[in-house]
Chain A
Amino acid sequence: MPEVEFQGKTFKVDEDGFIDDYNNWSQEWVQFVKKEEGIEELTDEHNKVIDVLREYYEKNGIAPMVRVLSKVTGFKLKHIYELFPSGPGKGACKMAGLPKPTGCV
C-alpha cells in the first residue's frame, strides 16, 4: 500500500488515495485531503459534512446515501460538489476517512 507523508504524519492509502483505516484519521489527514482536493479554505460547511459522515459511519459502518447526507446537512448535491469538487464519495468521504463504497453503486 502506498504511503503519504504530510505535516509529520504518515498515512497508508489505497489506489484512489483513501485512508487505509478509519481509526487512523486525524486533522492532518483533513489538511492533506484539502490540499489534494484543491480546496482553498475549510469552512464550517465542510466541517459539517465531515461530522455528519463520521457520525453516520460510526453508527452504521457505512457511508450514508447521498440523499441522507443532503437532507441531514441541508446542502443540495450541487452545493456538496461546490464544497468538495470530487463529490460526496471521492471528496467528502475521503476527507472524513471513510472507505470507498463498492457494489452496484
Chain B
Amino acid sequence: MSDLPKPEESLSKLDHEPPRTGWMDAPVDIRKGMYCYSANPKSLNYTGFPHAREWNPIEDDWKLPENWQEILHRGFRERLDRFRSVKVFMDICVRCGACADKCHFFIGTGDPKNMPVLRAELLRSVYRNDFTLMGKILGKLNGGRPMTENVLKEWWYYLFQCSECRRCSVFCPYGIDTAEITIFGRELLNLLGLNIDWIATPVANCYRTGNHLGIQPHAFKDMLDFFVEDIEEVVGVKVEPEYNKKGADILFITPSGDVFADPGTYTAMGYMLLFHYLKERYGFDITWSTYASEGGNFGFFTSHETMKRLNSKMYAEAKRLGVKWILGGECGHMWRVIHQYMDTMNGPTDFMETPVNPITGTVFENAKSTKMVHIMEFLADLIKHDKLELNPRRNDHLKVTFHDSCNPARGMGLLDEPRYVINNVCNNFYEMPANTIREQTFCCGSGSGLNAGEDMELRLMGSLPRANAVKYVHEKHGVNMLSCVCAIDRAALPTMTEYWTPEVDVTGVCELVANALVIPGEHDRPTDLRGEDLPGWAEPEREETDAE
C-alpha cells in the first residue's frame, strides 16, 4: 500500500462528473492499480482452459487466437440459447439508471463504466449489433457496436472491476441480476484465455488438492494441529478434531483461508472449540475433510463447468464418508454456489438426509434440497434452545458491528441468524446505517477473486462505501470490531480498515462465539483466542492451598 496516496488525497481526487464524450467514443485506459495480472499459463493448462499463454494487459498485443471474434461470437450464441436469463437480461434493460449509483466501484472510482447499467451495456451493445434484427439494421443508432479488440479490452478491464456482489440487482425494477452478466462475460473471456491469475491459480490448486491454497492433506492436518496447540495454551483444553472420519454424522466444510490466513485462523480455532464443546457435552460427531478442504469456489468466477467441477467434491466426500448432512463454515460466495446452483448442478443427493440438529432435534427444512446448513443457522438454533453456556462479558472490550457478506445476505437470505448469534455472545453491538447492511450491504471491494495485491487502488476505492459506514459507527459508538462471515472479507477488510479506519479490527463471528463459550475443563482465560489480554478482566482469586 506504500505507493498509494493518503486516504484524504484519494477522496479529494474522486470525481463523479461524467466525461463530455459519449461512452462508446471513450477508449479504455487500462491503469496500474486497477487491474489484476493475467493468468499464469501453467494454471490454465492444469484445468484445461484454452489459449493459455503469457500476455500482458498493458501491452498492445494480447496474443489473441487468430479467430478470436468467431470464438467469441459462437460462445455468445451458445450461451444465449443455453441461459434464458442471459437472453432476458440482454433484452429487458430500459436503462432507467436505478442501479447507476448503487455500485461500490462506481461510488469509489467515479468511472462511469462502473455504473452497472453501463458495465452491462458494454456487452449489450455487442449483443444488439450481432444478435438482434434492429441492431443489425440500425447499428449505432440502436445502441449497437461491432466487437473489436478495443471492445474486448474494455470488457476485460471492467468485468474484472465487478465483484458480482449483486447490490445493484436489489434496486433493479426488472430484477436483472447484473452479477450474472459479469459471470457470463467472464465465461466468454475464458474462451480466449483471458482470466486473471488471482482466480486461475486458486482454481488450479483447488482442482489438484481440493483447496485454493494448494494445501495437501498432511499439511492441512499440520495446520489444524497447530491450532490444537494454541487452543491448549489459551483455553487449557485439548481439542481433538476428526479428519476424513467414515461414518461421522456430519461433514464440515469451510474456506481454506480460515486455516491459513489471519484473522481467519482464529475463526478456525472458534469452529474447533465449538465442535469440542458439543462433543464433550452432547456427543456431537463431526469430521473435517482434507479433500473437501475448501468451501469457496473460484471456479464460480470462471465458468459454469469449472464451478461444477470444483463443487463436486463436497457431495463426493459426503458420500464416501457416509455422513448424514454437511455443515458449512463462514464463507461468502460458497453459499451462493450452494444455495443457487449446487442442487441442480451436482445433486440431487439420495444418500443424505434432510439435516436435523442432533442436539436440538430441529429439522432444517430450508436445507432439504442441498443438505447443507450454514454454521450461523446451526449456532442460532443451539443458542435458541439454550444449548451453549456463554459468557458474553468476555467480549465486553469489543464494540462490534456486522458486515453482511454479500453472498450469504443477498444470495441466500442469511440476515438475522448472524445478528442473533452476535447479540448472544457480545454485549455491545451496533448496526451500521440501514442502507449499508442486510440486503443493501456494501461489498468489501475485493470479492469474486479480486483480492490480489496489484489491484490495490481498485480494492481500496471499491471498499470506500463500506469503510465509510464503518467509520460512522466508529465515530458515533466507538465501534472497534468489524465482524463478518466470509473468508474473502477476513482477508480484505483488514486491508480496508488499515487504510480508511485503522482503529477498527476484523473478526469472524465464530471467533466471538468461542471467546464467549465456557468450555468444560477450561482454565482461567485472561486472554482472548489471539492471546491478547482482556482489558478489565480480573484474575479470579486463586486459593493458595498448594502454596509452599
Contacts and interface: CB of A to CB of B under 8 A. Distances in A.
**A interface, over-half SS:** loop
A90 B3 CA distance: 15
A103 B201 CA distance: 8
Contacts of B316: none
Interface string A81-105: 0000000001000000000011111
B219 A104 contact: no
Nearest to B264: A104
Given A102-B197, A104-B487, 6 more contacts: A1-B54, A16-B37, A101-B261, A103-B211, A103-B212, A103-B213
A101 B213 CA distance: 7
A66 interface: yes
A32 B261 CA distance: 28
Given A15-B37, A60-B219, A102-B201, A68 B226 contact: yes
B219 A105 contact: no
A61 interface: yes
B509 interface: no
Interface in B77-108: none
A20 B255 CA distance: 27
Q: For chain A, give the interface size range.
A: 10 to 19
Interface in B132-153: none
A90 B257 CA distance: 18
12 contacts: A60-B215, A62-B213, A65-B259, A65-B265, A66-B262, A103-B202, A103-B296, A104-B255, A104-B256, A104-B487, A104-B490, A105-B257
Nearest to A89: B453
A90 to B, nearest CB: 7
B223 interface: yes
Nearest to B295: A104
Given A60-B222, A103-B296, A67 B205 contact: no
Contacts of B230: 67
Contacts of B40: 14
Contact of A16 (B54, B202, B264, B454): B454
Interface string A1-38: 10000000000001110000000000000000000000
A6 B265 CA distance: 38
Contact of B260 (A59, A65, A71): A65
Given A16-B454, A65-B223, A103 B216 contact: no
A65 B261 contact: yes
A86 to B, nearest CB: 9
B542 interface: no
B212 A104 contact: yes
Contact of B205 (A60, A68, A103): A103
B13 interface: no
Interface string B417-455: 000000000000000000000000000000000011110
B488 interface: yes
Nearest to A66: B262
A61 B216 contact: yes
Interface string A47-87: 00000000000011110011110010000000000000000
A16 B453 CA distance: 9
Given A60-B219, A102-B202, A67 B487 contact: no
B219 A61 contact: yes
Looking at A14, A15, A66, A90, which has the most chain B CB atoms within 10 Å of its CB? Answer: A15
Interface string B177-217: 00000000000000000000110011001000001111110
Contacts of A15: 37, 454
B414 interface: no
Contacts of A59: 219
Contacts of A67: 226, 230, 262, 265
Nearest to B219: A60
A65 to B, nearest CB: 5
Contacts of A104: 212, 255-257, 261, 264, 296, 451, 487-488, 490-491
B3 to A, nearest CB: 12
